Structure 1
Amino acid sequence: MPIETTHDLIEQILSKWAGTIGEDYQGYRGHVYRLFNFCLTLRPCTEEEKTKVAIAACFHDLGLWSDCTLDYIPPAVSHAAEYLANTGRQAWGAEIALMIGMHHKVRAYTDHQYPLVELFRKGDLVDVSWGVVRYGIPRSYIAAVQNHFPNQGFHRFLMHTAASWWVKHPLNPAPFLRW
């Protein structure tokens, strides 16, 4: 399983948000690439599917920075929809919105109309769990991807952001979780 070390569309999309993401840019970029690679490893994808995964990966957590909120799914979906409209890909809107909206779903996404939604959820969980959850991906591949795209504080940022929510709202689940 080769590692996709660069992807033109990912670079193009993320570079436009570098100023918004700021000092967390390299950490988020690494997360996007790890997620992208894990998705492609979990299931062979067509070029169109790879493009959809790349777009969803770029936008899926972006609302953390663009709107400075832990309720980041709605702004992430909105930014992705705007991008799709500007690039003539509006037909992908529902699928990519679900990929983003369900990427922290606790249970499997079972609507088979959009198989990339579950693939994306799994790929994100592999990275967010630091490879503890693997869905059959070899540990050696996860380690190779992590070595190529170092964390650079991404998980620390996530933990700090989530902890600040739970301190203020101890009885409420984080708004990005879906059951």
Structure 2
Amino acid sequence: MLTALPLLDTLLDAHASSLGGDAMGYRNHAYRVANFYWRLLPGNADMLEKLSIAVAFHDLGIWTAGTFDYLPPSRALARDHLRAIGRAGWQRDVDAMIAHHHRCRRMPPETHASVETFRRADWIDVSNGVLRFGLTRDVVRDVRAAFPDAGFHRRLLHLTLQRLRRHPFSPLPMMRW
């Protein structure tokens, strides 16, 4: 199990003030997604670094931009970070992981496996393990036990209801078909 991802922790610490009281819930969500991803598609050190960056930024725009239409600001944060660390060559992969993580249907077969795996990992967590994409109940339970919800799903429900009241014809702008 991935229990310590220093890069992920550093990135989240840098945005702790934006996350406020949701910092632990978001951190645990990020670790759950990273662990589900790694169980589905383990890789090398570069892939773990890309995963840490993608998982840190994938929903962060909710808090940094104050919007539930958060994919564009989340992608921009990741892009800016990759440029700042001299990894602009990774932008296409990381951007695709973030851009498509709320897609409802499978990615086309020609898409890099990391994008589909990231999508599945996030759906495992958002569905509270109802969707598992081949992972066992025990794996999902163990990851969830190691990284408790800490109010993350309750916060998402609150934000969804808030968005629904303000934008009844566009309640989930981050969803992709």
TM-score bin, normalised by smaller chain: over 0.9
Cα RMSD of the aligned pairs, angstroms, is 1.1
2:135 to 137, 140, 161: 137
For the residues of structure 2 that align with 1:34 and 1:108, how far apart are their CA atoms? Answer: 20
Cα distance in 1 for partners of 2:37, 2:111 equals 18
On the 8 A contact 2:36/2:121 being kept in 1, the answer is yes
TM-score, with length taken from structure 1: 0.95
Confirm whether residue 67 of structure 1 aligns to residue 65 of structure 2.
Answer: yes
Q: Which ranges in structure 2 are unaligned for 5 or more consecutive residues? A: none
Among 110, 113, 116, the alignment partner of 2:114 is: 116
Amino acid at match of 1:72: Y
Is 1:10 the equivalent of 2:8?
A: yes
Moved over 4 A (4+): none
**For residues 139-172 of structure 1, what are the alpha-carbon distances to aligned partners after superposition, in whole Å with 9 as ceiling and x for unaligned?**
1111111111010000000011011112233333
Counterpart-to-counterpart distance in 2, 1:100 and 1:124? 10
Moved more, 45-54 or 148-157: 45-54
Aligned to 2:76: 78
Q: Equivalent residue of 2:102, what SS?
A: coil
Deviations along 1:22-72, one digit per CA (max 9) or x if unpaired, are: 100000000000000000001121221111111100000000000110010
What do the CA deviations read for 1:104-159 (whole angstroms, capped 9, x no partner)? 00111115342211110000000000000000111111111111101000000001
Identity of aligned residues (%): 38
**Partner residue in 2 for 1:44:** 42
* Segment drifting more, 90-99 vs 57-66: 90-99
Aligned twin of 2:166: 168
Contact kept? 2:32, 2:147, Cα under 8 Å: yes
Q: Return the match for 1:22 from 17, 20, 23.
A: 20
Alignment-mate amino acid for residue 58 of structure 2? H
Q: Which moved more, 1:40-49 or 1:140-149?
A: 40-49
Give the AA of the match of 1:114. H
C-alpha separation in 2, matches of 1:88 and 1:114: 22
Q: In structure 1, list runs of 5 or more residues that go unmatched.
A: none
Q: The residue matched to 2:15 in structure 1 has which SS? A: helix
CA-CA distance at 1:86 after TM superposition: 0.6
CA distance in 1, matches of 2:151, 2:171: 24
TM-score calculated relative to the size of structure 2: 0.96
1:157 aligns with 2:158: no
Name 2:100's counterpart in structure 1.
Answer: 102
Amino acid at match of 1:123: A
